[in-house]
Structure 1
Amino acid sequence: MIGYDFTKYAEKQFLKLPKKVQQKIIKKLEFYLDTPDPLVFALPISKTPKPCYRFKIGNYRVIFDWEIKKILILAVG
């Protein structure tokens, strides 16, 4: 499985969310990352200095940077 990590900014945003929403986001992230190609579920974000992607999870977006064997979560909202 591919791992994930939060930036300090994203972690702060994530912890402000209700616990139920946090659990939903983590569960969906783990589902996506357990697939052979998680980017199938992601949409690229244009006009960013480096390639970024987003997952839509319910009413929330998880913005991330794709790294080898890991995604770095940049923002949650």
Structure 2
Amino acid sequence: MVDSVAQMDVVEDATPRGTYLRSSASASLVYKNSPYYFELRLTYKIDDSRGEWVFPMNPESAAAIEKRELAKLLLK
């Protein structure tokens, strides 16, 4: 289950010397039910070619996140 998704779409047309190239790309940052897990998903389409990269963005140290989440609980 995904709590929120921030998405950005980019579409560009380029016409290099007599050739028509249609390309598009998008990026989204996915937050899944946890303050500890983020995922950056990049997709592209160039003519008939498509691709996707997924990068997990887990923090090296969760101390700052734990402190923030604890502060939220204490304020309730």
Name the TM-score, length of structure 2 as normaliser.
Answer: 0.24
Q: Which of 1 and 2 has higher RCO (CA within 8 Å, sep 6+)? A: 1
Name the TM-score, length of structure 1 as normaliser.
Answer: 0.24
More helix by share: 1
Which structure's CA Rg is the greater one?
2
